[in-house]
Amino acid sequence: MRALFKASAAPGLELVERPEPEAGPGEVKLRVLRTGICGTDLHIEAWDDWAAGAVNAPLVVGHEFCGRVVEVGPGVRDVTVGDLASGEGHIVCGTCRNCRAGRRHLCIRTEGIGVNRDGAFAEYVVLPESNVWVHRTPVAPDLGAIFDPFGNAVHTALSFPLVGEDVLITGAGPIGLMAAQVARHVGARYVVITDVSPYRLELARSMGVDLALDVSQESVAAAQERLGMIEGFDVALEMSGHASALPDIVANLNHGGRVAMLGLPSRPIELDWGRVITHMITLKGIYGREMFETWYAMSAMLRSGLSIDRVITHRYPADEWQTAFATARSGQCGKVVMDWSV
């Protein structure tokens, strides 16, 4: 089969022929139709310090995908050949305290598809039945391929009640854009998103945010004035990982404000902890998706009219993976999807 392969602990990837995997006991094999490119994949291609410390090369990369079930192993009960499915990319141990308590997203032994074991940038992928999310209602393969990052957006956005609240989102990348759509769908009053990329800010405007703010040109405080706000934002979603984002959020929150943090900072962040304490601000770290409450919420919102299709801006056949990766790395895009069916 064709597969995008990290052959050694060094920069680069190769599109090569690899042995086709087989489904073992309790496992499901899918014919991959579409894959989404994630920031993690860009780190692995570049082989930066994070990748060198986290990735088990050699392996097939990729963890955002949608495909058709072609084989099920012994003991598989609820997934059948022909099902259209996406996959939860975090494989958990099932026996640690959090797994046994039903908090699988907090498993201390999580293994990542496309990071610690062969992934989905290939014509076929195998994963445990427990990680397969079958689409019981019609979903386009392109959309099914981005359920993983969509889940990050939903997990972050739904961390706190949003009905009638004023929401600030820092970072207008694909996950921030999807989170903005979720916040609007569930009933936020104002949704403001910040970035410094004209392309992504314009994309955010086209997706219906109340204000897309270039923070290199205008302050968040000024945005509050433009919207007639007088007490600060109620909820903030930090998606950028930029060192200046969290201090800016804290400075613009109402007393009792709540912050969900998904963006991974590249360096330590200085924060006004006195303000956090005296304003009774809640900070919550977010990682991945809740298994599987987030997945149920995703499917339910799509069925009830949520649309995130516009976040997908570029599509390429898998053979053009280098162009696809370059587009994703440029930032002049939303979500980039690769087609493995051609």
- Is pLDDT above 90 for 267? no
Does the model's pTM come out above 0.75?
Answer: yes
pLDDT averaged over every residue in the chain? 96
Distance CA 5, CA 45 (A): 10
* 100-126: average pLDDT: 96
CATH of domain 155-285: 3.40.50.720
- Characterize 282-298 residue by residue with b for buried, 16 or more Cβ atoms within 10 angstroms of its Cβ, and e for exposed: ebeebebbbbbebbebb
The CB density around residue 246, as the number of other CB atoms within 10 Å, is 24
Q: Cα 227 to chain center, whole Å?
A: 29
Whether 2-146+308-339 shares its CATH topology with 155-285 is answered: no
The set of residues, in sequence order, having a beta carbon less than 8 Å from that of 338 and lying 6+ positions away, is 34, 35, 36, 37, 121, 315, 316, 317, 318, 320, 321, 324
d(CA 295, CA 302): 11
Parse the chain into domains and list their residue ranges.
2-146+308-339, 155-285
What residues pair up with 16 in beta bridges, in sequence order?
3
Q: What per-residue confidence (pLDDT) applies to 209?
A: 97
Q: What is the pLDDT of residue 56?
A: 87
Q: Do 192 and 171 form a contact (C-beta atoms < 8 A)?
A: no
CB of 261 closer than 8 Å to CB of 245? no
CA distance 28 to 65: 14
Write out pLDDT tens, residues 5-58. Answer: 999 999 999 999 999 999 999 999 999 999 999 999 999 999 998 899 999 899
Tell which CATH classification among 3.40.50.1820, 1.10.3720.10, 3.60.40.10, 3.90.180.10 matches the domain 2-146+308-339: 3.90.180.10
Residue 203 has pLDDT above 90, yes or no: yes
pLDDT of residue 266: 81
Task: Say if residues 167 and 193 touch (Cβ distance below 8 Å).
Answer: no
Residues with catalytic function: 40, 43
